[in-house]
C-alpha cells in the first residue's frame, strides 16, 4: 500500500481511523509446507527469503506474542561485522551488505545509518586484541582500522580521554560503516514483504508442542490448533532450548537477561556508536535525540524480562566514567530481553537429528546485526534440506566435534 501526501493528511485528520493494514491477520490453516516458529527479525527474514528466493509461499510464521515483540524490538540496533573468525565474518558481512540495500529491497524505511562504530581499547590487552581483529577484518576486505587516542577524541569530543582515568582510552577499533538501523522497521518490512507473497503470519499463537513420527517432524501444536507439516524452523531466541525440548532435542544454550535504557532527548551530541567493552557500557544517539544505552548481561540464567539492578547500576557507572558530561541526564525507560548464549558466543544455524526440524538461535546479545544474512542462509538451508555453505560452520555438530568458533571478544560489551 502506498500513501500520497493527501491521503496521509486525510488519515491524520480522521484520527487515524482509515489506515489500511500493512499485513493480513489470516486464520491458521491445518497444513503448511513449512512452519517458522517465532516472528522476530530472523524468523520473518527466513519466511521472506523462503518465499522470494525459493518460491515457498504455503508457509506460516507462528508467534506467541506480537511480531517483533521479542529481542528484535528490544535491542539497541548496533550493526557491525568486526568478528574474528572467517566463518563469522562471512555471515555478518553478508548481513551488512544486505542491510545496505534493505530499505529498497523491502520498499520500507529501515533507517539504516552506517555512521561509524568505535570499540574503545582501555587496556593493553584490549588494544593488542583489537589490532589483531582489525588485521583479520582487513584481510577479509572489511574497512577497519585502529584509531589513536587523539583521533578518538576528535570523533567523540565528549569522551573522557584523561590518562588518569581508571581505564584510560588507549585507542579504539574503528569500523567506519558500522552503525544502526530501526529495529521495528526491519521486522515490519520483512513482515510486510513476506505477507505480500502469501506467507501467513499468525500472532498470539503460542507453540505448545512439536510432533514426531519416528525421526521425522510431522506437526506443530499451537494454542490456535494443530498444524501438519514436514518442515519446521525454530527461531525463538531466548526460548530456543524450550522449543527444541518439545521435539526431544537438547541445546547447548543458556538463557540470560540483557537490559538497555534510553535517556531524555538531547541536542545532537554524539554521531558515532561507541562501545566500551572493558567497563561494560555502550552508547549511540537516536534521531529523536535519546541516548540509547546498554551494558553487560545479568550474571545468572533466567527467563525474566526485567533485569537485575546490579547490571543496570554497573552500566550507568561505565557510562559516567567514559562520558562524565552525561552524569546528570535523566533516564526515561529501561527494558530487557532474554537472550540465548552458546559457549563459543557464535550462533547455531543447523539441521538436527530430527528430519525436517531446523534451528536458528544462539545469537546471544548480537543477532540484530545478522538478521538479513541469517534469514537468507537459513531459508536456503530449509528449502534444500542441507546447510547453506555460509551456515555450514554453525551446525550443531561443532559442539560434538570440538570445532568451536570462538567469538568471545567480538561479542564484546554485553557478554
Ligand atoms: P526474537 O526477536 O526474540 O524473536 C523470537 C520470537 O519467538 C519472539 O517474538 C517470541 O515471542 C517467539 N516465541 C518464543 N517462544 C515461542 C513459542 N512457544 N511459540 C511461538 N513463538 C514463540 N544485537 C545486535 O546485533 N546489536 C545490538 O545492539 C543488540 N542489542 C541488544 C540489546 C538488548 C537489550 C537485547 C535483549 C538484545 C540485543 N541484541 C543486539 C541481540 C538481538 O536483539 C537478538 O540477537 C535478535 O533480536 C534475535 O532475533 P530473533 O528473531 O532470533 O529473536
Ligand atoms: O552485538 O554489537 C552488539 C551489541 C551491542 C550491544 C548489545 N549487542
**pLDDT tens by residue, 70-93:** 999 999 999 999 999 999 999 999
What are the pocket residues of ligand 1 if the criterion is a CB atom closer than 6 Å to any ligand atom?
37-43, 62-65, 69-72, 74-78, 206-207, 235-239, 243, 258-260, 294, 337, 339, 363, 365-369
**pLDDT tens by residue, 127-178:** 999 999 999 999 999 999 999 999 999 999 999 999 999 999 999 999 999 9
Within a domain: 408: no
Within a domain: 25: yes
Last residue of a domain, one of 341, 368, 383: 341
Instruction: Indicate which atom in ligand 2 lies nearest the CA of residue 369.
Output: 1
Ligand 2 atom 3, closest CA: 366
Q: Looking at residue 361, what is its pLDDT?
A: 98
**One domain for residues 160 and 258:** yes
**One domain for residues 174 and 30:** no
Last residue of a domain, one of 289, 308, 341: 341
- Phi, psi at residue 351, to the nearest 5°? -75, 170
CA distance 415 to 243: 24
What are the pocket residues of ligand 2 if the criterion is a CB atom closer than 6 Å to any ligand atom?
76, 78, 80, 282, 294, 365-366, 413-414
**One domain for residues 171 and 26:** no
Indicate which CATH number applies to the domain containing 388. Answer: 3.50.50.60
* Pocket mutation for ligand 1, best pick of 60, 63, 70 (most atoms within 8 Å of C-beta): 70
C-alpha cell at 101: 540495500
Within a domain: 3: no
**One domain for residues 240 and 259:** no
Within a domain: 202: yes
Q: Looking at residue 169, what is its pLDDT?
A: 98
**One domain for residues 230 and 375:** yes
**pLDDT tens by residue, 359-387:** 999 999 999 999 999 999 999 999 999 99
Partnered with residue 117 across adjacent β-strands are 175, 273
Q: Looking at residue 96, what is its pLDDT?
A: 97
CA atoms within 13 A on the CB side of 162: 8
In sequence order, what are the residues at sequence separation of 6 or more whose Cβ sits closer than 8 angstroms to the Cβ of residue 204?
Answer: 63, 64, 65, 66, 223, 224
What strands lie across the sheet with 232-234, from one edge to the other?
200-202, 59-62, 34-37, 232-234, 357-361, 348-351
**What is the residue range of 392's domain?**
21-77+183-252+344-401
**One domain for residues 100 and 124:** yes
**One domain for residues 246 and 353:** yes
**One domain for residues 192 and 169:** no
Give the burial class of 217: count Cβ atoms within 10 A of its Cβ; 0-12 exposed, 13-18 middle, 19 or more buried. Answer: buried
Confidence tier at 2 by pLDDT (50, 70, 90): low
**One domain for residues 44 and 173:** no
**One domain for residues 132 and 258:** yes
Within a domain: 285: yes
Partnered with residue 180 across adjacent β-strands are 78, 113
* DSSP code per residue over 249-299: ---S-EEEEEEEEEE---SS---SEEEETTTTEEEEE-TTSPEEEEEPPPS
Q: 27 with 35: CB under 8 angstroms?
A: no
Q: What is the mean pLDDT of the chain?
A: 95
**One domain for residues 259 and 222:** no
**One domain for residues 119 and 237:** no
CA distance 136 to 159: 27
Mean pLDDT of the region 214-242: 98
Partnered with residue 113 across adjacent β-strands are 180
**pLDDT tens by residue, 315-326:** 999 999 999 999
Within a domain: 13: no
C-alpha cell at 88: 563469522
Within a domain: 150: yes
Last residue of a domain, one of 311, 341, 371: 341
Q: Looking at residue 278, what is its pLDDT?
A: 92
Within a domain: 410: no
Domain count, the chain: 2
Q: Would the pLDDT of 271 be above 90? A: yes
The pTM of the full predicted model, rounded to 2 decimals, is: 0.96
Indicate which CATH number applies to the domain containing 301. Answer: 3.30.9.10
Ligand 2 atom 6, closest CA: 414
Amino acid at each position: 500500500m502506498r500513501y500520497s501526501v493527501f491521503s496521509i493528511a486525510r488519515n491524520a485528520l480522521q484520527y487515524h481511523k482509515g489506515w489500511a493494514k500493512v499485513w493480513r491477520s489470516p486464520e491458521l490453516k491445518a497444513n503448511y509446507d513449512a512452519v517458522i516458529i517465532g516472528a522476530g527479525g530472523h524468523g520473518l527474514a527466513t519466511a521472506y527469503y523462503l518465499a522470494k528466493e525459493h518460491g515457498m509461499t504455503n508457509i506460516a510464521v507462528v508467534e506467541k506474542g506480537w511480531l517483533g515483540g521479542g529481542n528484535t524490538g528490544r535491542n539497541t540496533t548496533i550493526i557491525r561485522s568486526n568478528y574474528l573468525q572467517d566463518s563469522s565474518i562471512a555471515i555478518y558481512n553478508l548481513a551488512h551488505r544486505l542491510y545496505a540495500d534493505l530499505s529498497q529491497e523491502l520498499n520500507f524505511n529501515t533507517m539504516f545509518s552506517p555512521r561509524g562504530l568505535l570499540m574503545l581499547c582501555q587496556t593493553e590487552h584490549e588494544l593488542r586484541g583489537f589490532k589483531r581483529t582489525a588485521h583479520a577484518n582487513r584481510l577479509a576486505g572489511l574497512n577497519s582500522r585502529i584509531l589513536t587516542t587523539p583521533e578518538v577524541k576528535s570523533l567523540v569530543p565528549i569522551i573522557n580521554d584523561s590518562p588518569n582515568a581508571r581505564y584510560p582510552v588507549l585507542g579504539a577499533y574503528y569500523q567506519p560503516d558500522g552503525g544502526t538501523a530501526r529495529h521495528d522497521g526491519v521486522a515490519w518490512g520483512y513482515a510486510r514483504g513476506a505477507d505480500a507473497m502469501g506467507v501467513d503470519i499468525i500472532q498470539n499463537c503460542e507453540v505448545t508442542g512439536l510432533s514426531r513420527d519416528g525421526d521425522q517432524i510431522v506437526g506443530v501444536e499451537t494454542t490456535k490448533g494443530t498444524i501438519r507439516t514436514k518442515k519446521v524452523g525454530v527461531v525463538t531466541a531466548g526460548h530456543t532450548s524450550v522449543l527444541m525440548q518439545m521435539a526431544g532435542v537438547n541445546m547447548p544454550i543458556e538463557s540470560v537477561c540483557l537490559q538497555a535504557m534510553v535517556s531524555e532527548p538531547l541536542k545532537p551530541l554524539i554521531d558515532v556508536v561507541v562501545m566500551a567493552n572493558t567497563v561494560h557500557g555502550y552508547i549511540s544517539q537516536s534521531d529523536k535525540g535519546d541516548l540509547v544505552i546498554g551494558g553487560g548481561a545479568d550474571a545468572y540464567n533466567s527467563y525474566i524480562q526485567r533485569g537485575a539492578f546490579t547490571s543496570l547500576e554497573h552500566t550507568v557507572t561505565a557510562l559516567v566514567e567514559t562520558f562524565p558530561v552525561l552524569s546528570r541526564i535523566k533516564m526515561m525507560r529501561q527494558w530487557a530481553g532474554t537472550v540465548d548464549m552458546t559457549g563459543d558466543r557464535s550462533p547455531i544455524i543447523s539441521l538436527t537429528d530430527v528430519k525436517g526440524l531446523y534451528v536458528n538461535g544462539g545469537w546471544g546479545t548480537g543477532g540484530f546485526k545478522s538478521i538479513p544474512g541469517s534469514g537468507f542462509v537459513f531459508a536456503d538451508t530449509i528449502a534444500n534440506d542441507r546447510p547453506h555453505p555460509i551456515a555450514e560452520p554453525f551446525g550443531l555438530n561443532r559442539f560434538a566435534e570440538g570445532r568451536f568458533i570462538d567469538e568471545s571478544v567480538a561479542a564484546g560489551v554485553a557478554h
